[in-house]
Amino acid sequence: MSILKGVGVALVTPFNENLSVDFDSLTKLVEYNIDNGTNYLVVLGTTAEAATLSKEEKKQVVDHIIKVNNKRLPLVLGIGGNNTLEVKKQIEETDLSSFEAILSVSPYYNKPNQEGLYQHYKMLASTGKSIIIYNVPSRTGQNIEAETTIRLAKEFPNLIMIKEAAPNILQYFDILRKKPEGFSLVSGDDEFALPVTLAGGDGVISVIGQAYPKEFSTMIQLGLDGKVKEAYEIHNKLVEITRLIFAEGNPCGIKVILTEKGIIKNYLRLPLVVASEGLHNKIKAEMAGI
């Protein structure tokens, strides 16, 4: 699905001091990304602290982003979980008319084997909706192996893409080598985004990209165009800050940058907490050189 190519950003959910959703800051964040070259927006991903939002808040966040975006950028909606039938039901009952696809994380905590993972996505595919598989073993406790991804991609054309965030870059390359025509792979790891794009990937669903949309989208476009040296110049400029934002977990690091840029306020909902003073200062110092 070529419309989802380049840099998609997994938007944070800004909060006020009383931890209510800060819709004014959310407007600023969406406009900032639209104005600075982001290719598409990912709504209610992990970075959005979606696990701590109520059903009503999720609806309000979705409605607000749809309204502010006003059809300017393609949208992707996160709907995932570890109860397959419940996830299927949610997909079927959600109005997806404003969205290009669903981003659905593999089941966490239950630790299904490869056949269980296959059956999970087979069930989701039966909805007929366009779905992006999301493999992030560091969060789910289980890896979707390359062979399982390829099996799903070949059998279900509406499983259109994988957001791959396995720690082993060779797994990305195996999928890129064996995937069927029309199935896309994007990096789910900001640091792997450029090498994966150069190897034939379609870009990245990024966390850091929402803070540096111009730089990150330029880097990925250079990668898509095969301009390796120029792309790596930007990659090398951003690599330290990319590592720093994940040092104490996500999204505490990215919220520091967005706060320093005056786009949001620095609040998170428990069990997440704001970055330590030490990390905050390191991020601030690194920002000064970008």
- Per-residue pLDDT, 283: 98
How confident is residue 130, by pLDDT bands cut at 50, 70 and 90? very high
> What is the number of domains present in the chain?
1
Would you say 47 is a known binding-site residue?
yes
CATH of the domain at 23: 3.20.20.70
What's the confidence (pLDDT) of residue 107? 98
The reply to whether 108 falls in a domain is yes
Per-residue pLDDT tens over the stretch 233-276: 999 999 999 999 999 999 999 999 999 999 999 999 999 999 99
Query: Is 130 within 8 Å of 102 (Cβ atoms)?
Result: yes
- Residue 266 forms part of a structural domain: no
Domain presence at residue 171 = yes
Give per-residue pLDDT as tens, 98-120. 999 999 999 999 999 999 999 99
Active site residue 122: no
Q: How confident is the model at residue 59 (pLDDT cuts 50, 70, 90)?
A: very high
253 within a domain of the structure (yes/no): no
Residue 184's pLDDT is 98
Question: What is the extent of the structural domain holding 28?
Answer: 6-226
pLDDT at position 268 is 98
Answer for the pair 3, 74: CB distance below 8 angstroms, yes or no: yes
pLDDT of residue 44: 98
The verdict on whether residue 27 carries a ligand-binding annotation is no
The pLDDT of residue 6 is 98
User: Quick check: is 264 in a domain?
Assistant: no
Torsion angle of the four alpha carbons 64, 66, 69, 72, in this order, in degrees rounded to the nearest 10: 180
Is 240 among the domain residues?
Answer: no
The dihedral over CA atoms of 7, 101, 87, 112, expressed in degrees to the nearest 10, equals -60
Q: What is the pTM of this model?
A: 0.98
Q: What is the pLDDT of residue 171?
A: 98
Per the annotation, the verdict on 28 as an active-site residue is no
- Predicted confidence (pLDDT) per residue in 4-21, tens digit: 999 999 999 999 999 999
Q: What's the average model confidence in pLDDT over 152-162?
A: 98
Confidence band, pLDDT 50/70/90 cuts, at residue 58: very high
Long-range contacts of 33-37 (CB under 8 A, 24+ apart): 33/9, 33/73, 33/210, 33/213, 34/69, 34/72, 34/73, 36/213, 36/214, 36/217, 37/7, 37/213, 37/214, 37/217, 37/218
Residue 206 belongs to some domain of the structure: yes
The reported pLDDT for the residue numbered 141 is: 96
Q: What is the DSSP letter of 44?
A: S
What is the predicted pLDDT for the residue at 246?
98
Residue 33 pLDDT level (bands cut at 50, 70, 90): very high
Task: Quote the pLDDT of residue 93.
Answer: 98
Mean pLDDT for the stretch of residues 191-206: 98
- List the catalytic residue out of 5, 58, 129, 163: 163
- Confirm if 234 and 206 have CB atoms less than 8 A apart: no
pLDDT of residue 55: 97
Residue with tokens 């064996």: 178
Of the residues 32, 40, 121, 134, only one is catalytic, namely 134
